[in-house]
Amino acid sequence: NAGVTQTPKFQVLKTGQSMTLQCAQDMNHNSMYWYRQDPGMGLRLIYYSASEGTTDKGEVPNGYNVSRLNKREFSLRLESAAPSQTSVYFCASRLAGRGNTQYFGPGTRLTVL
């Protein structure tokens, strides 16, 4: 049981390049989330998918798109990367139900030059 996995672990992009961050979970969770972590700011929610087939904006969605490919997989796409998107990105998942815990992946460290 791998939990939540993310690829790649590290990525360096030039401004304007695009890329997709991949996330998968094997816990049969309904809901999945993408966060970014910046120093001194904690984690901020970018997008989430409450269930397969649905996606919704979080606190900081600008510059990102997401796809809930199936129940297991939830990808985050940067269409035209900007230096302000340099961050550590975390995927998380949760079983539906009030109060249930979110479980996090190991993160992707992205640098945009």
Partner 1 sequence: AQSVAQPEDQVNVAEGNPLTVKCTYSVSGNPYLFWYVQYPNRGLQFLLKYITGDNLVKGSYGFEAEFNKSQTSFHLKKPSALVSDSALYFCAVRDRGNNNDMRFGAGTRLTVKP
Question: What residues make contact with partner 1 under the rule CB under 8 A?
Answer: 4, 31, 33, 40-45, 48, 50, 56, 58-59, 90, 92, 98-99, 101-107
Closer residue to partner 1 (CB): 38 or 79: 38
Q: Pairing between strand 108-112 and 10-13?
A: parallel
Smallest distance, partner 1 to C-beta of residue 70, A: 19
Smallest distance, partner 1 to C-beta of residue 54, A: 10
Report in angstroms the alpha-carbon separations of 41 from 45, 64, 71.
12, 19, 30
Closer residue to partner 1 (CB): 17 or 44: 44
Q: Which of 77, 107, 112 is nearest to 89 (CA)?
A: 107
Backbone phi and psi for residue 93, each to the nearest 5 degrees, phi listed first:
-140, 160
Closer residue to partner 1 (CB): 92 or 110: 92
